[in-house]
Chains A and B, each alone.
Chain A
Amino acid sequence: MKLINKRRRFLRDALALTGAVALGGCDKLSETQWAPKVLGSATGLSHATQRVLSRDAMAREYSEADISPVFRPNGSTHPQSAEYRALAADGFRDYRLGVGGLVAHPLSLSLDNLRALPNRTQITRHDCVEGWSVIGKWTGVQLSRVLKMAQPTKLARYVVFRCYDQMDDDSEYYESLGFDDAYHPQTLLAWALNGSTLPIPNGAPLRLRVPRQLGYKMAKYLRRIDLVDSFKHIEGGRGGYWEDQGYQWYAGI
């Protein structure tokens, strides 16, 4: 009987301990260097699986009736740099999108140049990493079209987007995409939202649209685009402003 009681007590204590370790331990593990890396490895698996399952499938496109009354802006909504404010004051007449890095033909495109290219309009859903969604109608040029004009070299593997908006730590927003997403037909450099010129809170004069990923991938206030073979040496080295804060580079989930 004594032995059974002892065993029971051991089982009970072991269980209580497991629970406490599980909850308290998660916080401690989150602060280590290695645990977040291990946890983050699951995203690589998710990316590989989702790539196989969805390939080039198109994001759902909605009807005019589905458009949200307000396209909620998030993150930066009014870039404060002198350079950006000067451009904005002039209606972005002097704006030029630079395209460079590992390309055969570096480009410098004005908004008129971009608007003169064949464009695409799509009513797609925007999913924020926080959990909410809004639906808007976007018009712009397919990124693939601009990339074909610039002709990435064989070494190029990623497309890096540099932005005008400064974040809290004074670094500038940036993002990056792999070629599968960069060349997807719904990946746009958009200059219009819901039939009007893109408003400043939503990323004027030009922002990225990647409807199969979360909002933080869709860089606003685009300054220039660089083709690179690796983003290890850019800013925090993880391929984007939020990625450098611990968010996953692949944001399709």
Chain B
Amino acid sequence: MASIPEDATSPSPVATPPAPTVRRVVYRHTLPLRIMHWINAICLLILLGSGLQIFNAHPALYWGHASHFDHPWLSLGATRTGDGRLRGVAQLGSHRFDTTGWFGVSKMHGQPTVRGFPAWATIPGPQWLAMGRAWHFFFAWIFVLNGVCFFTYALWTRHLTRDLVPTRHDWRGIGRSIIEHALLRHPKGEAALRYNVLQRLAYLAVIFLFGGGVVLMGLAMSPRMDSVLGWLVDAVGGRQSARSIHFLFAMGFIAFFLIHIFEVVVTGVGNNLRSIITGRYAIESEARDETHQ
């Protein structure tokens, strides 16, 4: 996030006496960051869809080194009712939920079909493990290489230390920031140019905890890599635990994605989208602020 004012004063066409505000367009996101953002978005979309396809090959998760088939902590299965109809059953711990239409049983070509996640959520749509793996491992490489590029770039340009790591002042304002987020009150004007503390923490967690974690847990599932990553596999409790955690990080990405989209929409979808595509972000600031520049 390079908050370098471009054409410092480009008065808004509607800037007439009653509201003495000035619309200023700043160059917010540099080209490399914009490119990496979209590569990352495409990778995550495909990794998620193909990952759910792979999950569907055995829609159950366990803790430990091996699968205790009678005791998954999560499973998306199916049962048949007395009148022969298929019902989807999600089991989480000792709880069972009817999830027909969503998990366990969902429609494919109009027919109720036994499958963990529905066809619209998987890549490819039909049950096709070999192809799901092909998509997953190809885009996993791009995701990792893109991540390495981002990290190098963010360190080099100090994007990481300047824009992402919270300052001491940020930490002190965390309580207020939480309240403001809850009330959907977002910083305006100049203040909107810098990431707020919750935003910084969310980005750091997603990049390093979710991003790093999901890759490491993926590697921990590889039988070949386990010959040198035994310590990592043991640290999380075994290969099946690694598979579970890999899945949970993926769910974490979905949660982040939903919040991310929500925040983009409530803080101005057009402005935000333009800034992540063209780099240009508009802020309204009071005209008198301009004199301090």
List residues of B (137-155) whose CB comes within 8 Å of A's CBs: 137-138, 140-141
| With known contacts A27-B124, A39-B135, A54–B225 Cβ distance under 8 A | yes
Say yes or no: is B130 at the interface (Cβ < 8 Å to chain A): yes
Question: Chain B's nearest CB lies how many Å from the CB of A112?
Answer: 32
B55 at the interface (CB under 8 A from A): yes
Interface presence of A159 (CB below 8 A): no
Say whether B273 contacts A15, CB under 8 Å.
yes
> How close is A216's CB to chain B, nearest CB, in angstroms?
10
Report if A40-B65 is in contact (Cβ < 8 Å); known contacts: A59-B223, A60-B226, A214-B223. Answer: no
Interface residue? A167 (CB, 8 A): no
Contact between chains at A253 and B129 (CB < 8 Å):
no
B49 engages A133 (CB within 8 Å): no
> Is B156 positioned at the interface, with any CB of A under 8 Å from its CB?
no
- Find residues 120-165 in chain A having any chain B CB closer than 8 Å to their own CB: 125, 127-135
Name the residue in B45, B66, B137, B228 with the highest tally of chain A Cβ atoms < 10 Å from its Cβ.
B66
On whether the beta carbons of B134 and A54 are closer than 8 Å, the reply is no
Task: Verify if A89 is at the interface (C-beta below 8 Å from B).
Answer: no
Assess whether B224 is in contact with A253, with CB atoms less than 8 Å apart.
Answer: yes
Contact of A133 among B65, B128, B133, B230 (CB under 8 A): B65
Q: Which of B42, B55, B131, B226 interacts with A30 by CB under 8 Å?
A: B131
In whole angstroms, what is the CA distance A66 to B13 when docked? 73
Shortest CB distance A50–B (Å)? 5
Collect the chain B residues with CB atoms within 8 Å of residue A36's CB: 131, 134
Contacts of B240 in A (CB 8 A): 132-133
Category for how many chain B residues contact A: 35 or more
Residue of A38, A42, A135, A245 most packed against chain B (CB within 10 A): A42
CB distance from B257 to the nearest CB of A (A): 12
Chain A residues closer than 8 Å to B274, beta-carbon distance? 7-8, 11
CB of B243 to closest CB in A, whole Å: 6
Q: Chain B 242-278 against A: per-residue CB contact (8 Å), 1 yes, 0 no?
A: 0100000000000000000000000001100110010
CA distance A212 to B180 in the complex (A): 52
Can you list, as one digit per residue, whether each of A15-26 has a CB less than 8 Å from chain B (1) or not (0)?
Answer: 100010011001
Of residues 17 through 39 on chain B, the ones whose CB sits less than 8 Å from some CB of chain A are none
- Give which listed residue, A11, A23, A38, A53, contacts B49 with CB less than 8 A: A23
Kindly provide the distance from the CB of B276 to the nearest chain A CB, expressed in whole angstroms: 10
Q: Point out the residues of chain A lying under 8 angstroms from B125, CB to CB.
A: 27
In the complex, whether A179 has a CB less than 8 A from a CB of chain B is: no
Are A252 and B138 neighbours in the complex by a CB distance under 8 Å?
A: no
- Give Cα A70–Cα B133 distance, bound, in whole angstroms: 27
| Bound CA–CA A96/B129 (angstroms) | 35
Q: Smallest Cβ distance from B71 to chain A, in angstroms?
A: 12
- A52 CA to B243 CA, complexed, in Å: 24
Establish whether residues B123 and A12, one from each chain, have CB atoms under 8 Å apart when the complex forms: no
Partner of A129, one of B57, B60, B62, B135: B57
Q: Known A212-B224, A252-B224; judge A129-B129 contact (CB<8 A).
A: yes
Q: How far is the CB of B144 from chain A (nearest CB, A)?
A: 10
Interface set, chain A 1-58, CB cutoff 8 A to B: 1, 4, 7-8, 11-12, 15, 19, 22-23, 26-27, 30, 36, 38-43, 45-46, 50, 53-54, 57-58
Q: Which chain A positions have C-beta within 8 A of B58?
A: 128, 130-132
**Contact residue among B13, B223, B233 (Cβ-Cβ distance under 8 Å from A252):** B223
Question: Do B129 and A62 touch (CB < 8 A)?
Answer: no
Known: A58-B227, A133-B240, A214-B223. A23 touches B134 (CB 8 A): no
B126: chain A residues within 8 A (beta carbon):
27
B115 within 8 Å of A (CB atoms): no
B262 CB to nearest chain A CB (Å): 16
A-B contact pairs, 8 of them (CB 8 A): A7-B274, A42-B138, A43-B134, A54-B225, A125-B226, A132-B62, A133-B239, A212-B223
Binding site for A on B (CB under 8 A): 13, 42, 45-46, 49, 54-55, 57-58, 60, 62, 65-67, 69, 120, 123-126, 128-131, 133-135, 137-138, 140-141, 221-228, 230, 233, 239-240, 243, 269-270, 273-274, 277
